[in-house]
Chain A
Amino acid sequence: MKNPMSLIREIDYGTPASTSETLVTLNVDGFEVTVPEGTSIMRASMEAGIEIPKLCATDMVEAFGSCRLCLVEIDGRNGTPSSCTTPVTPGMVVHTQTEKLKKIRRGVMELYISDHPLDCLTCAANGDCELQTQAGVVGLRSVRYNVDANHFTPKVRGESNFRYMEKDESNPYFTYDPSKCIACSRCVRACEEVQGTFALTIEGRGFESRVSAGAHESFIDSDCVSCGACVQACPTATLMEKSVVEIGIPEHSVVTTCAYCGVGCSFKAEMRGDELIRMVPFKDGKANRGHSCVKGRFAYGYASHPDRITKPMVRDSIDQPWREVSWDDAYAFVADRFASIQKTHGIDSIGGITSSRCTNEETYLVQKLVRQGFGNNNVDTCARVCHSPTGYGLGQAYGTSAGTQDFDSVEHTDVIVLIGANPTEAHPVFSSRMKKRLRAGAKLIILDPRQIALVRTPHIEAQFHLPLQPGTNVAVITAMAHVIVTEALYDEQFIRERCDWDEFEEYMEFVTDLRHSPEVVEGLSGVPSETIRGAARLYATGGNGAIYYGLGVTEHSQGSTTVMAIANLAMLTGNIGRPGVGVNPLRGQNNVQGACDMGSFPHELPGYRHISGEDVRNIFEEEWGVTLVKEPGLRIPNMLDAAVEGTFKGIYIEGEDILQSDPDTHHVAAGLAAMECVVVHDLFLNETANYAHVFLPGSTFLEKDGTFTNAERRINRVRKVMAPKNGFADWEVTMGIANAMGLNWTYTHPSEIMDEVARTTPSFAGVSYDHLDEVGSVQWPCNEKAPLGTPIMHIEGFVRGKGRFINTEYVATDERSGPRFPLLLTTGRILSQYNVGAQTRRTANVIWHEEDVLEIHPHDAEQRGINHGDLVSLASRAGETSLRADVTERVAPGVVYTTFHHPDTQVNVITTDFSDWATNCPEYKVTAVQVALATGRSNWQEEYNQQAEQSRRIEHDGELIHGD
């Protein structure tokens, strides 16, 4: 890592590592090697530095033993066993290179090559081909066989070759060239074992064996989810990134962190000069362990998309076209406007929003700008609209605002409870790890109104699916606790040792009441009581139970209460404080955990310390040389309310598109329109920028140094691989504003910002770039007590001392279906697109999802005369939009579902201002709606498009052009 200017080549040990603690010593070619029991001879040899020739083996999948190249001789045993499938035994004496083996290997290789084109020089894998390498390794010098019967020439003796298959270029990111295939089945096994999709197979037998996507379909028409695992596994040019085909193989690589979801996968950005050739998942990445999804692996094209704005722009009012200016003029414009607003309307009249897309260092600087420069606490972040209830709920129960485990923990889980999360779409790499564990026998309980893929998918079926009515989470989870308490399935010893016993007794009394029984709750939630009982019993008695949850928990009026109900369940059953258990929020954005950690909320300073604490304020007052306000500042919805009322006039928004992502679009638009200076700092002219007066171009994760913190509290390095197209990293832009306001910041590198965080924030005290370069990543808390970080929390006791049971009374949301709006709308994501879609819509991923569609049950569709594909209107008391219908049984009758990736649909026109009682996290997951056949786009859509068009004009060399 210290020398980034070479291509990182990770060692392929051939077979996966054994986790056994028993050690075995053997002898390989005269060298003693000690390895864990269960290790293959191939891997043991590699650890001794001896590489046995191989083709079908790679350490991302289990051994298969088909290529017959890795044969070895073992003293006292007959024959030549394959080293990949033969486990080591004590005292074993292995010979990897004998005359007999050489001859066999050359013969095997000759057969392979007889059915392979010899076009190495013009092949895309030239220089990166294991077949080529192994031919060299075994010393193959000639091929004696007739090649008439082959798979690689289109014609044989003038006649068309029936064995020849055309290249499949249907996937936008990689090609499948059957003529180069050696049928090693590494791709098939990667799809099964690593990704868990089972999209690939080997069709035919013997010489007719071919890799096939689905039932002889093209890749794009098959079940393939384009995760890239097969491409990574392929030893030849058969499965190859199109970028490598087009450009060539990379010459250096840099390890960095994906900027999509909260899994936070580590990748090698493989480069040629400053051109990114491909992103390859990094085996040492502790979040992803060498796996990836379609977004991180392939969807980075937005970084070089022509829509990117690279010059700062200003305008006096939003009906004017944009005017390009210098950076200094833009900073001065912002500083002047903000100063004059504060002079006229008071200190509290401006604020800022930090970005969960940006680095820790960058979010830290935005909240610092607000607190030090604006002189108030009006700073908030998009966690407001996603996981703020997690912070509140877990903070109340356990004393920390984050998940309790690392992702590796799932490998020790016996019962997975998945609540309001759809990891196959939203956290794909973690879902693959989860599916692997489920295939190994772990049980699965799902609470979700929809029939998400994991309910039933190849080789996985949930033991219990609780298809609850949206809005009844608290009732159902409390009913599970009722079962555990009344049937005495709770872990009394754990509770006595770790929790407040008096509070537990009160909780017992509360939860035992008949109103929490599954039989009563069935009436509210629609979930059969026996299903609730069965799920509760399984979780309580099935071994290590781990709860994973998503926004289906938090984005409700009772989001915080649901988090507490989940915390109760884990404490009741003693499922906290060791591997395999815990409470695990699946975070949406790459750095939403980090943005929360860095003091982005209006009521707390970095490290979740309330602003009212004098000691904490003192630390920062000394560091920043100002007096801090002890009162909490405004949250995003309060800022917008205040704007509509005329007391909030200016905002700096870093990497956030609140007009599209926040609820009740009309209200957001009214708030923005009422402001005098809206500063948008982003890659693209996003929807919010339609209301902006200043646009500051942002930089991508490829263009800067920094850190992201993922859902397991893991702090991962982001490393710059190319110069920012806009000229500056985002932290430099925020510093530009600060210095135009006279704050005299002098950072020259993001590592200095992290040093400041470490100086001021105890849970980050041990974090520095040097430390991260050395150990790869750490999970906070990382300090003197835990220099390597904390993979699992609450091991000996809860952070707050005793764990707290909290009564969780179910309260029906005010958002109820009625005669005017008889259906309940709930929202979510799809694999290929990401949130507001600003990035993924600017990549080839649109091939999988061109528009948002409305899922509606056939019964509800028929009543309304709606057919599959019809344009329908979707209306709530807040607004109306239109989109196409997808008639499906994935949703229950009475429930409709859509995604929110496209501004043209803008589902948040429909969502309301109802929110979580504790944190104001919007109730995205429940909106009462009506659906009807539509004749065209809604009025709102027409007007919005016109306004957007007007607003995006840019004056360039005296001409008007349209930004997009």
Chain B
Amino acid sequence: MATEAKMIREANQIATFFHSKHHDEGVAGIAEHLNKFWAPRQRRQFFDMIDAGGEGFDELVIEASATVWRPEPVAS
């Protein structure tokens, strides 16, 4: 499966779980989860997609992205 589709699926899977929480708690929960478990490489790809409009992501994921840590740019 293409990286982007997989990224959307995994992020939305996480959001699905946090939909059963109160809205604010859910948003914070998603951000915390991505910060804790997603390596910078994944978050970098994530922000590439969010910055390009975030099409396909659950609305809760898009909201949470505001508090997901932006990884430092790749040192080449």
Contact = CB atoms under 8 A, between A and B. Distances in A.
Interface of A: 346, 348, 377-378, 510, 557, 560-561, 602-603, 610, 612, 631-635, 638, 641-642, 645, 647, 807-809, 811, 814, 913, 915, 917-920
A341 to B, nearest CB: 15
Interface string B4-47: 00100110011011011100000000000101111111100000
Given A632-B36, A808-B20, 11 more contacts: A346-B75, A348-B40, A631-B39, A632-B37, A635-B37, A638-B42, A641-B6, A647-B41, A915-B10, A917-B10, A920-B10
B1 interface: yes
Contact of A631 (B3, B16, B71, B76): B71
Interface of B is mostly: helix
Nearest to B15: A917
24 contacts: A346-B75, A348-B41, A377-B39, A378-B39, A561-B17, A603-B36, A603-B37, A612-B35, A631-B39, A632-B37, A633-B39, A635-B39, A638-B39, A638-B41, A645-B3, A809-B16, A811-B17, A814-B9, A913-B1, A917-B13, A917-B14, A918-B14, A918-B17, A918-B37
Nearest to A506: B22
A642 to B, nearest CB: 6
B74 interface: yes
Contacts of A510: 20
Contacts of A602: 39
A596 to B, nearest CB: 15
A920 B9 CA distance: 12
Interface string B43-76: 0000000000000000000000000000100111
Among A510, A632, A915, residue most surrounded by chain B Cβ atoms (within 10 Å): A632
A377 B37 CA distance: 11
A631 B42 CA distance: 11
A631 B41 CA distance: 10
A915 B74 CA distance: 28
A935 B38 CA distance: 45
Among B13, B19, B33, residue most surrounded by chain A Cβ atoms (within 10 Å): B13
A199 B5 CA distance: 54
Interface residues of B, number: 25
A610 B33 CA distance: 12
Given A807-B21, A917-B16, A612 B36 contact: yes
A602 B6 CA distance: 20
Nearest to A664: B1
Contacts of B40: 348, 631
Nearest to A920: B10
7 tightest A-B contacts by CB? A917-B13, A807-B20, A809-B20, A634-B39, A631-B40, A917-B14, A632-B39
Given A634-B39, A638-B42, A647-B41, A557 B20 contact: no
Contacts of A915: 10
Given A346-B75, A645-B3, A632 B19 contact: no
A913 B6 contact: yes
Contacts of A811: 16-17
A133 B10 CA distance: 68
Contact of A809 (B3, B19, B37): B19
Contacts of B14: 917-918
A632 B16 contact: no
A918 B33 contact: yes
Contacts of A610: 36
A554 to B, nearest CB: 15
Nearest to A378: B39
A194 B16 CA distance: 47
Interface of A is mostly: loop
Nearest to A564: B17
A919 B10 CA distance: 10
A634 B16 CA distance: 23
Contacts of A913: 1, 6
B38 A632 contact: yes
B3 A917 contact: no
Contacts of B1: 913
A807 B36 CA distance: 21
B2 to A, nearest CB: 11
Contacts of A642: 41
A346 B76 contact: yes
B48 to A, nearest CB: 13
Given A610-B36, A647-B41, A346 B74 contact: yes
Among B14, B17, B33, B71, residue most surrounded by chain A Cβ atoms (within 10 Å): B17
Contacts of B21: 807
Among B1, B6, B41, residue most surrounded by chain A Cβ atoms (within 10 Å): B41
Contacts of A917: 10, 13-14, 16-17
Contacts of B10: 915, 917, 920
A612 B71 CA distance: 13
A154 to B, nearest CB: 69
B9 to A, nearest CB: 8
Contacts of B33: 918
A647 B20 CA distance: 36
Nearest to A645: B3
A616 B25 CA distance: 27
B70 to A, nearest CB: 12
Contacts of B37: 603, 632, 635, 918-919
A144 to B, nearest CB: 80
Contacts of B9: 814
A919 B16 CA distance: 14
B29 to A, nearest CB: 10
Nearest to A346: B75
Contacts of B13: 557, 917
A811 B20 CA distance: 11
Contacts of A807: 20-21
Contacts of B76: 346
Contacts of B17: 560-561, 809, 811, 917-918
Among A602, A638, A641, A913, residue most surrounded by chain B Cβ atoms (within 10 Å): A641
A913 B2 CA distance: 12
B43 to A, nearest CB: 9
Nearest to A813: B13
A811 B15 CA distance: 12
Nearest to B22: A506
A612 B37 CA distance: 11
Contact of B3 (A378, A561, A641): A641
Contacts of B39: 348, 377-378, 602, 631-635, 638
A923 to B, nearest CB: 11
Contacts of A647: 41
A551 B40 CA distance: 29
B72 to A, nearest CB: 9
B5 to A, nearest CB: 11
Contacts of A641: 3, 6
B20 A634 contact: no
A560 B75 CA distance: 35
Nearest to B21: A807
Among B21, B33, B37, residue most surrounded by chain A Cβ atoms (within 10 Å): B37
Nearest to A914: B9
Nearest to B14: A917
A641 B38 CA distance: 13
A153 to B, nearest CB: 72
A642 B38 CA distance: 13
B58 to A, nearest CB: 12
Contacts of B20: 510, 807-809
A346 B76 CA distance: 7
Contacts of B42: 638
Nearest to A642: B41
A346 B74 CA distance: 9
A809 B14 CA distance: 12
Contacts of A634: 39, 41
Nearest to A634: B39
A346 B19 CA distance: 38
A634 B45 CA distance: 13
B76 to A, nearest CB: 7
B35 to A, nearest CB: 8
